[in-house]
Chain A
């Protein structure tokens, strides 16, 4: 009875995983195959391995892995076969059911070197027909890399039963790569194989084709190979540029994040806030503190640490911003150069305060699961962390734009920027608006700190690295214009990354700086200059 239930469960499982009737029948084959290990004789074990591979049950891989690791055991009295997983838990090898009370005596199935070799091959083949598509993909890629002629029969059978077209393509490419190596492949097959491989187009395949080209005698195939290599090189070159472009957008969004708060305090209010970088730093440290608290008190919330840190970082830095504005900056309006000096003093104090509180060394801020890893996008490798930062930057930019254009506070901010005295005469509390504007700019710097904690070292010097770039972005884009900041940040980011492969990172940066200095000569008020008399000092 229980056996029948198990059988049905296994069938359903297999159906769910593979969706192939062949696999259903194969499962009884697995039980029969596993039973052969119980004799513990080498020929029987070999036959068992082959039978297990043929049966292709989901259990095949763990069973064979257990055998190679000497974790496969059998009960000499009942002749049932068991295996332990890496953690030591006992399972029935035929059914995969967990076994609670282990039999009194368990003997390990013996293996020798020959069996170990067979097992290794079998395990490689097995992953090719594993029910897990990701595992099949990895196995196919591995075969493609290894180009082992031994794998050809297993590969051929895997291709016939493969349903996922993407995995199938990779398998066919792997077969092509192996075929090119075999001496008895016909010329037509070779041509087809080259065509199949040329369809790939990653760096590794290019290296493979170059290697094959070196092995090939001059002739039609060699000409084909040369053409394929050339096409691939051209494609890879384009891809590399696109990758640079993406890196540029990513850097641009980081610059945008760092600069956009400054675009408010400097651009809208005309306050040269040298402590802006320290606001970013405070945001990053807020993230660190939130993560530490979560780590010690509620580790299961770890993935939520960034969403929790975002409002807190905004709040903390906005409050610090209000304190700076009310305490220092409001006495210095109309004296931009003095503001610069005073806020530089503030930045020194904040840096030292953080250094005293948290120590001078880098602090570790972890990445939540959704921010680690990368995915492949038409041959581009895109990391989730960078993608999220781009999204975050766009969201903040949009939010800020809406705040400035569609809220009454935004209206008041713009009014005070354009004509302080007139705005005051119209009943706007300019002092309050100043404080709120500065708080907004500082808070956004704090948000930038949350994002930068993911890609940069969280140290007391974090902000210093961004302050000059931020100013340059704002000045380049045009003071007092958010769109200018956006365009400025993206232009600088992309230009930087496109120059990097040509000139090197440092020289590229120097070229950008010189270009900016020259650009300011041409357009002293940036890309998008505000026009009007109010802007002149």
Chain B
């Protein structure tokens, strides 16, 4: 079903995007590792972590755009998959602490010792191994999305109703992870990580690697999304988005298509969470809060839904703005700005930044075309 030739997958714009991503990544790595700290071009370790965080957010936005932009599934609970992936990675990192915790217990993480637990809960078994944790990063969000989607899409829960129950899902998980009895650290979550695969999470080399991995994951997922949306499968998705009943009448199993794309998207979100946690050094239940999921949806809306590149652009620009605002004297006004962005984008830029780019390019072409003699287009 997924059959698209390389040209359709990587159109000019996608290639440009991947090239820019590669250049920026290479520049950050270079500026952090090679350029001396005294130079103004040096990128500090803190900034590397920050950029790495942005990239994981961009990956989350990409996963939302895949289902919202191309299949019309507005999930207001995608933060849950992100957080689940994060917890899977966090659990591995907790197990790596070993006896270096405050209590120095040979098996149990600090918070379990604190709660007087005797042995490791079943859910933690296996997280000593990175491979197992890495599988869980995909499996847990994927399984949840599969089961959730299986029920929801089969019963034809669509539109707003689906949005509300995804929100209920992440809210239920938020409440569940706040419970100490769950065995995931309660409201403090998992933190105080020491090392990953034997490398200290604090070391600048590890951070740079994680940043690069985030960029690679983003690029890989972007290509995967392109493969999905540029193929026949992608056409069906768009058909479902625009006229679900009609697609069903044409003989397509709508629920199966939706389930596949939803599950893939949840796994991507899980991967984003897993890359996020070692970089920021903490995962706690607030990642499940419905507001976080809505904010991620906003990134997509700002960038332009249904464009994939827009999701990345939106996530990066909103978060860059957030950092700029919340670190300065304007911190109290950040929510005003964020709120205003939501309102203005939905009212004035329904296609987001990418839509604006399209319009500007069209205008520019319309203006330049009469002046310049028509030339044979190359490479388009």
Q: Which residues of A pack against B, CB within 8 Å?
A: 272, 274, 328, 331-332, 336-342, 344-349, 351-353, 355-356, 464, 468, 471-472, 475, 506-507, 509-510, 513-514, 516-518, 520-522, 524-525, 537
Does B163 reach chain A (CB closer than 8 Å)? yes
A518 neighbours in B (Cβ, 8 Å): 151
Taking a contact as CB atoms under 8 Å apart, the answer to whether B172 and A332 are in contact is no
B152 neighbours in A (Cβ, 8 Å): 520-521
Taking a contact as CB atoms under 8 Å apart, the answer to whether A516 and B168 are in contact is yes
A88 → chain B closest CB, angstroms: 52
Taking a contact as CB atoms under 8 Å apart, the answer to whether B347 and A517 are in contact is no
A342 neighbours in B (Cβ, 8 Å): 342-343, 346-347
The docked-state distance in angstroms from the alpha carbon of A345 to that of B156 is: 29
A521 neighbours in B (Cβ, 8 Å): 151-152, 154-155, 157
B152 → chain A closest CB, angstroms: 6
User: Contact check: which of A472, A475, A524 meets B155 at CB < 8 Å?
Assistant: A524
Q: A342-B343, A464-B291, A521-B151 known; A472 and B168 CB under 8 Å?
A: yes
B248 → chain A closest CB, angstroms: 13
The docked-state distance in angstroms from the alpha carbon of A336 to that of B294 is: 14
Query: In chain B, what residue has the closest Cβ to A275?
Result: B339
The docked-state distance in angstroms from the alpha carbon of A464 to that of B333 is: 19
Query: In chain B, what residue has the closest Cβ to A519?
Result: B165
The docked-state distance in angstroms from the alpha carbon of A523 to that of B345 is: 34
Query: In chain B, what residue has the closest Cβ to A512?
Result: B172
Interface residues of B in 320-362 (CB under 8 A from A): 332-333, 335-336, 338-343, 345-347, 350
Query: In chain A, what residue has the closest Cβ to B333?
Result: A352
Does B178 reach chain A (CB closer than 8 Å)? yes
Query: In chain A, what residue has the closest Cβ to B297?
Result: A341
The docked-state distance in angstroms from the alpha carbon of A272 to that of B161 is: 11
Does B164 reach chain A (CB closer than 8 Å)? yes
Q: Which of A332, A349, A525 has the most CB of B within 10 A?
A: A349
Q: A328-B347, A509-B175 known; A346 and B339 CB under 8 Å?
A: yes
Query: In chain A, what residue has the closest Cβ to B291?
Result: A464
Q: Which of A274, A332, A341, A510 has the most CB of B within 10 A?
A: A341
Taking a contact as CB atoms under 8 Å apart, the answer to whether A352 and B335 are in contact is yes
Q: Which of A348, A349, A522 has the most CB of B within 10 A?
A: A348
B13 → chain A closest CB, angstroms: 24
Does B176 reach chain A (CB closer than 8 Å)? yes
Taking a contact as CB atoms under 8 Å apart, the answer to whether A348 and B346 are in contact is no
B147 → chain A closest CB, angstroms: 11
Taking a contact as CB atoms under 8 Å apart, the answer to whether A510 and B172 are in contact is yes
Sorted from nearest, which 6 A-B pairs have the closest CB atoms?
Answer: A345-B342, A348-B339, A349-B339, A352-B335, A513-B172, A521-B155
Interface residues of B in 18-44 (CB under 8 A from A): none
A52 → chain B closest CB, angstroms: 60
B334 → chain A closest CB, angstroms: 8
A360 → chain B closest CB, angstroms: 10
The docked-state distance in angstroms from the alpha carbon of A510 to that of B168 is: 9
Taking a contact as CB atoms under 8 Å apart, the answer to whether A520 and B157 are in contact is yes
Q: Which residues of B pack against A, CB within 8 Å?
A: 74, 148, 151-152, 154-161, 163-165, 167-169, 171-172, 175-176, 178-179, 290-291, 294, 297-298, 301, 332-333, 335-336, 338-343, 345-347, 350
Q: A332-B347, A510-B172 known; A475 and B339 CB under 8 Å?
A: no
The docked-state distance in angstroms from the alpha carbon of A349 to that of B347 is: 16
User: Contact check: which of A352, A472, A514, A525 meets B339 at CB < 8 Å?
Assistant: A352
B123 → chain A closest CB, angstroms: 16
B158 neighbours in A (Cβ, 8 Å): 524
B235 → chain A closest CB, angstroms: 22
The docked-state distance in angstroms from the alpha carbon of A328 to that of B158 is: 25
The docked-state distance in angstroms from the alpha carbon of A507 to that of B172 is: 9
List, sorted by A's number, 23 A–B pairs whose CB atoms are closer than 8 Å.
A272-B160, A328-B347, A332-B347, A337-B74, A342-B347, A347-B339, A348-B338, A349-B335, A349-B339, A349-B343, A352-B339, A355-B332, A464-B291, A468-B168, A468-B171, A475-B164, A475-B165, A516-B165, A517-B169, A517-B172, A522-B155, A524-B156, A524-B158
A358 → chain B closest CB, angstroms: 13
The docked-state distance in angstroms from the alpha carbon of A374 to that of B294 is: 42
Q: A509-B175, A510-B172, A524-B155 known; A345 and B341 CB under 8 Å?
A: yes
B176 neighbours in A (Cβ, 8 Å): 506, 510
The docked-state distance in angstroms from the alpha carbon of A332 to that of B335 is: 22
B161 neighbours in A (Cβ, 8 Å): 475, 520, 524-525
The docked-state distance in angstroms from the alpha carbon of A475 to that of B164 is: 8
Taking a contact as CB atoms under 8 Å apart, the answer to whether A336 and B159 are in contact is yes
B171 → chain A closest CB, angstroms: 5
Taking a contact as CB atoms under 8 Å apart, the answer to whether A520 and B165 are in contact is yes
Taking a contact as CB atoms under 8 Å apart, the answer to whether A524 and B157 are in contact is yes
Q: Which of B168, B179, B350 has the most CB of A within 10 A?
A: B168
The docked-state distance in angstroms from the alpha carbon of A169 to that of B301 is: 71
B333 neighbours in A (Cβ, 8 Å): 352
Q: A345-B338, A468-B167, A513-B171 known; A336 and B343 CB under 8 Å?
A: no
Assuming A338-B346, A516-B165, what are 14 further A-B pairs, CB within 8 angstroms? A336-B160, A341-B301, A341-B346, A342-B346, A344-B294, A345-B298, A345-B340, A348-B342, A352-B336, A352-B339, A471-B164, A513-B172, A520-B155, A524-B157
The docked-state distance in angstroms from the alpha carbon of A338 to that of B339 is: 14
Taking a contact as CB atoms under 8 Å apart, the answer to whether B175 and A510 are in contact is yes
The docked-state distance in angstroms from the alpha carbon of A507 to that of B155 is: 26
